[in-house]
Structures are given as C-alpha cells and as structure tokens.
Amino acid sequence: MDYHIALSGLNAAQKALEVIGNNIANAATEGYHRQAIELTPINSLNDSDQIGEGVEVAEITRLIDTFLQDEILQQQSSLGQVSQELDILSTVETVFGELSDSEGLNAAIDEFFNTLQELSAHPTDVIYQSQAVSAAETMTAQFRVLGEYLTKLESQITLEAENTIEQANTLINQIGELNGLIHPQETSGLQANSSKDQRDQLISELSQLIDIEMIRRDDGVVDVSIAGIPVVSGAKTFELEAGFEDNLDLSLSIAGKTINNTNLQGGQLTGLFSLKNEIISDLHDDLDTLANAIIQQVNEYHVQGIGSDGSFTELTGWSMASEDLADFDPPLSDGTISIRVTNTTTGETTRTTISVDTATDSLTTLANKIDAIPGLSASVYDSRLHIQADTNYAFDFLPSVLESPTASDFTGTTSPPTVSVSGIYTGTENQTFTFTVSGTGSVGNGTLQITVTNGDGETVKTLNVGSGYPAGETLDLGNGIKIALSTGDLADGNTFEVDAFAETDTSGVLAAVGLNTFFSGNSAANMTVSMDIIDSPGRIATALGSDGTDNTNTLRMQETQNLAIDSLNSMTPGEFYRQLVTDTGQLISVREIRQDSLEAILQNLANQESEISGVDVNDEAAQMLVFEQMYNAMAKYLTTVQVLNATLMEIV
C-alpha cells in the first residue's frame, strides 16, 4: 500500500505540473481558458483502514463563467454592428459634410439660384444666360457624383455582406467539426478542453459577425442559431446565403431555402444589412428626392416660358419607359394643357386647350389631340412626344393673356370699341374673367362702367370707362392683367371675357415628358441640364410675356430656392440638404457614443474574464513550486518506504 500511495502522489504531482506548464505555455493564446487540476483522496477499500490509499486526479477543468461568456458574446455582437455602421457612415460624412466647402453640393445649389437672380436683371444677355447654364451644370454634376457614390456604396455593402456571410459559413463549419471531435471524447469520460477552447474562440469570432444564440449540451456540444435559423446542430451544419426581398432589401436565409430573414440583431453583418436596407438607402432616397424636387419645380415653371430665342418650331421630349400616362412616376394629375400657336406672318395668335385624362390617355392620344390644332402636327416615336409647327407658325405654352378677348358680346352697338388685353396674370388659379358693361354711351363719355367678375362670380374690380377715361388708356385689374378700350359705343349688358392662366399645364405632362425643360432626369445619379439649353442658352425660359423680354419666369424659377416644397417635408431645397447632412452627423454621433460605451463594457467584462480564465504566470509559478515540492517529497517518501521494506526483509 505504501508504494501505491507514493506512486499516486508522484503521478498527481506530475499531472499537476503538466497542467501548469500547459497554462504557462498558453498564457498569450487568444481564447485559451486556464485549466485547473482537481485532486481527491483515494478511499481505502478496507473499512478497517482509515488512512486511505493516496491521491488521484478527479478532473482537469476549464475555468470559465458561461454567463459572463454569453454577455461578452452579446456585447461583441453589438459592438460589431455599431463599428461597421460607424465606419461606413464616416466615409459618407466626408462626402456630404461640406456645408462650408465652396465646391460642395450646398454651395452649388446656392450658386445656381444666385445666377438665376442675376439673370433676372439681364434676361436677354447671353453672358448671364451662359453663366446660369454653367452653374446648373456644376450643380447637376455634384448631384451625379453623390448619387453615383451612393449607388456604388450600396453595391460595395452588398458585396461586403456576401463576403461576411462566407466568413460566417467557414466559422459555422469549423464549429461543427469541433463539435464532432468533442462529443465522443466527452461521452467516453475524457475531457476535450483544448477543442472546447478552439470552438469557443470560433463562436466568439462568429458573434462579431452576427448575433448568435447557443444551447449548451451536457455532452460538451454547443448548438448555434442565427436570427432563429439553426446553423449548427451537433456536428451538422447549415450554411447561410444572402438574398433580396421584392423591395431589393438584403435578406438572410439557409442556403437553398426561400424563407428570408431581414430582422437581424448585432454583428458586422447586421450593420451591413442595416446600412444597405435602411441607413444608406434612406440617405440615397433623400438625395434623389431633393434632386427630383428641384428638377420638377424648375421644369414646371420652365415649360411655360420662353427665352430670348423665342417660341418654338419643334420640340421633342424624352424617351419614356411607358407611353401610358397612368404608368408615369411620379404620377400625373387629370388636367389641361393650353398651347399658343402664332402665325409668324400675320402675328395672329390663338390658344387651344386640350384635356388630359391620366387613366385613359397615352402619348399617342395626346399627340393626336395636339395634331388636331391648326398650325401644328404631333407624333410619337421611340416613346418620345414630338411637336412640329407648320411653316410660318410657332408655338409655346405661355400663360400670358391673348391680345384680344377670348369671347365678346357687343349686341346693340353699331360701332363697339376695340378691346386690347395685355399683361401677365399673377393669380394662383386659372380664371376666366367676365367684363360686364353698365350704362349706355360712348367710351370716354357718360357714366359707363365695367364690372369685372371671376369664375366664381365674385367682383374683382369696377372700371370707369365713361367720363374722364381717355380712350386707349390702360386699365389695371390689379392681378397683372390690363385692358384698354378704343373709342366706340357700348350698351348696357355688353360683355367680353378674358382667359387668364396661372398654369398652362395643370396635369404636369409637359415637364414629365421633357418638353421645354431646363433639367432632365429624375434622380441625383441622372440629373443633367437639357441639351437644348446647353446648346443654346437663349432657350432658358426667362419670360412669360409674348415678347420674351420680361424676367417673370426667371424670378419664379429662382424663388424655388425659398419655396417650401411638399415633397421636401415643406422645407426649402437648402434646408432639406442641410437637414440631410445634419441627420448623417447625428447618426454618427449616436454611434460614436454607443461604440465608446460598448468598448468600456467589453473592457470591464474582459477584466472579469481574465480574473477567472486568464493565466497569471506568477500564480502559476507559485503553484509549480508547490507541486514540485510535493513531487520531491513523494520521491523521498518512496525512497524511505523502499529503505524500510529492505531493512524489514533483512530482519526477517
């Protein structure tokens, strides 16, 4: 028995020294958990022997706190997501955060509208026209740069997500392989501590890529799920793959399965999904919304005007994806289009209004309606609406009033006066104004008056055309429209009408199909200045008057800079862009704070883990001395037993 006690002590001390040596050797190994040897006395099989039979190694354990480990994994996942989002957003901020940069988009938008302001003072000057075109090209180039950058960034994020999934699949397969090694060892009574450390390190790396859920089995195996998707079950693994939802959002699924999941939590992959599906996507949408708002608002004004080049003999629109008006995006409204046609030989001008029904009309039906207007022909080719003026004719969409009343009834008079109409209507709604005569007599004499009413029957103004009115003098209605009456006779109840237009296209078709527009495109990435404007700056529609010399339309387009636009959340273009940049900065600020907090939490958890699982070389060296002394003492004990037994044998 004495020999057995000695040998058990030697074996225990030797095994303990091996454990200590292994700990010291792995002191700098990432993911290694310190191991401890547990010794237990060997009880005597003889009830009368109360001394015992030595010592044995009960277990070599990994010193690990599973609750602490789970918390570390969760915080690592959160940090992985925040760090990934912060990295990408920081690059975005570099591109967008240039409010004070003289070459940035914000400055380019301001400069474009400033040149329109300058052009309004010199509407027919080619120098100022060219300056406006140049500023517009600079602004659209800035939009395209940012739009293309975000498009490429979204593609890069998608590629990075796919690469991250490949990394995750590699880790998943390695975890399964190690589970396959651990299971037979643990079930046979052995301890697979090194394999568990390797597997746990892989799980830690996986948690940085994506938040995971674990189930620890009694046999040492760990099952892993991601977003409710089982990826490791014992030694069996299931790989992941990226997919796309109908709205082009990135999604995650088991390879070969059609069930997709976009509701991920934590990890770099979740950060990439969040960036692609929400953060960058929303930013891109906002930039496109801003570009489209400027395009639409300026174009809606521009299509109604003319520049110093005058009215048109030919216009061709853009190639549309669909000829049906119901398919246009953004959607159009039911309304009307009013087209002015001028006989360039006689100077006679007529206006024809056609209806637009978005449910039934197409480019072809519109072309047919325009084609029916005397002096014009229209057609559609390559999904483009084309309008051609006949020889000695020109056309435009000016809202300026015609020189003569739209309709008149001078019944009861033998020599009625000539009514001249002029001006540019400043109202906000299309109106037909009715002029009704009260009294009878000749212009400039008596008590003749004209009462002006709008389409709702409301009196707008009462005009004196009797005594004290010099025939031919201009009378102002106060809304931009002016009339003048020559000498002639009027009778009580005589009437005439004047059509006034705030908009000659209430449907939005002209701007949508690209007729007489300043800009082309519908997003930041494809926003450009129309080639007609680039080729001939005199085509900038500065005027709403028939002579093309006024600046009214330039002022309207310039006012877009200060216009609260519905699609921009009732903000001006400048305010909307500054809000966009500010929001990006806030996203970064929140994530920087979150990152610092998570790093502090993880450092605290790491310190706690180190106290439990880390290797302190000094402590191990102290333990080594203890077991070294134990080994030496047991060796002496064995020598003593040998000597005693030898002496006993000599006596016998």
pLDDT digits (tens, 9 = 90+) for 331-386: 999 999 999 999 999 999 999 999 999 999 999 999 999 999 999 999 999 999 99
pLDDT digits (tens, 9 = 90+) for 314-333: 999 999 999 999 999 889 99
Beta strands in 322-370 (DSSP E): 335-343, 349-356
User: Are residues 524 and 331 in contact, defined by beta-carbon separation less than 8 angstroms?
Assistant: no
Integer Cα distance of 516 and 318 in angstroms: 11
What are residue 386's phi and psi, to 5 degrees?
-125, 130
DSSP code, position 445: S
Amino acid at 18: E
pLDDT digits (tens, 9 = 90+) for 521-532: 999 999 999 999
Is residue 113 classed as helix, strand or coil in its secondary structure? helix
> How many Cα atoms within 13 Å fall on the side-chain side of residue 266?
21
Domain count, the chain: 2
Residue 577 lies in a domain: no
Residue 180 clears pLDDT 80, i.e. is over it: yes
Range 392-402 average pLDDT:
95
Q: Determine the straight-line distance between the first and last CA of the chain, rounded to whole angstroms.
A: 19
Integer Cα distance of 208 and 211 in angstroms: 7
Integer Cα distance of 349 and 394 in angstroms: 10
Structure confidence at residue 100 as a pLDDT band (50, 70, 90): very low
pLDDT digits (tens, 9 = 90+) for 544-553: 998 889 999 9
**Last residue in a domain, options 460, 478, 500:** 500
Predicted pLDDT of residue 467: 93
Contacts of 166 (CB under 8 A, 6+ apart): none
**Last residue in a domain, options 442, 465, 500:** 500
What percent of the chain stands above pLDDT 70? 97
Residue 633 lies in a domain: yes
Predicted pLDDT of residue 99: 43
Range 587-616 average pLDDT:
92
| Residue reference for tokens 């030694």 | 235
Residue 447 lies in a domain: yes
Integer Cα distance of 490 and 441 in angstroms: 6
- Quickly list DSSP for 382-414: TTEEEEEEPTTEEEE---SPPSS-SEEE-TT-S
Integer Cα distance of 151 and 154 in angstroms: 5
pLDDT digits (tens, 9 = 90+) for 3-53: 888 888 899 999 999 999 998 999 988 888 898 999 998 887 665 556 778
Residue 39 lies in a domain: yes
- Quickly list DSSP for 482-496: EEEE-S-EE-TT-EE
Residue 1 clears pLDDT 60, i.e. is over it: no
Range 300-307 average pLDDT:
95
Predicted pLDDT of residue 259: 64
Residue 71 clears pLDDT 60, i.e. is over it: yes
Residue 156 clears pLDDT 90, i.e. is over it: yes
| Residue reference for tokens 């959607």 | 331
Tokens read off for 625: 């001395």
Contacts of 572 (CB under 8 A, 6+ apart): 561, 562, 563, 564, 565
Does the N-terminal peptide bond of residue 330 adopt cis geometry, omega within 30 degrees of 0?
Answer: yes
Integer Cα distance of 85 and 278 in angstroms: 11
Residue 44 lies in a domain: yes
User: Are residues 574 and 561 in contact, defined by beta-carbon separation less than 8 angstroms?
Assistant: yes
Residue 251 lies in a domain: no
Predicted pLDDT of residue 624: 92
Rg, Å, the chain Cα set: 43
Amino acid at 84: Q
What is the side-by-side order of every strand in the sheet holding 419-423? 419-423, 481-485, 475-476
Give the burial class of 296: count Cβ atoms within 10 A of its Cβ; 0-12 exposed, 13-18 middle, 19 or more buried.
Answer: buried
Range 68-80 average pLDDT:
92
Cα 522 off chain centre by:
15
Give the burial class of 333: count Cβ atoms within 10 A of its Cβ; 0-12 exposed, 13-18 middle, 19 or more buried.
Answer: exposed
Integer Cα distance of 513 and 55 in angstroms: 93
User: Are residues 528 and 400 in contact, defined by beta-carbon separation less than 8 angstroms?
Assistant: no
Integer Cα distance of 539 and 311 in angstroms: 9
Tokens read off for 176: 């399964």
Range 121-134 average pLDDT:
96
Predicted pLDDT of residue 50: 64
- Of 136, 479, 505, residue with least CA distance to 301: 505
Task: Tell me the pLDDT of the chain averaged across its residues.
Answer: 91
Range 421-449 average pLDDT:
93
Range 592-618 average pLDDT:
92
Residue 606 lies in a domain: no
Predicted pLDDT of residue 47: 57
Tokens read off for 339: 């087209």
Angle at which helix 280-302 crosses helix 66-96, to 10 degrees, equals 20
Domain range enclosing 633 = 2-63+614-651
Residue 73 lies in a domain: no
**Last residue in a domain, options 500, 535, 567:** 500
Q: What is the pTM of this model?
A: 0.85
Please list, residue by residue across 466-488, b when 16 or more beta carbons sit within 10 angstroms of its beta carbon and e when fewer do. Answer: beebebeeebebebbbbbbbeeb
Integer Cα distance of 462 and 112 in angstroms: 43
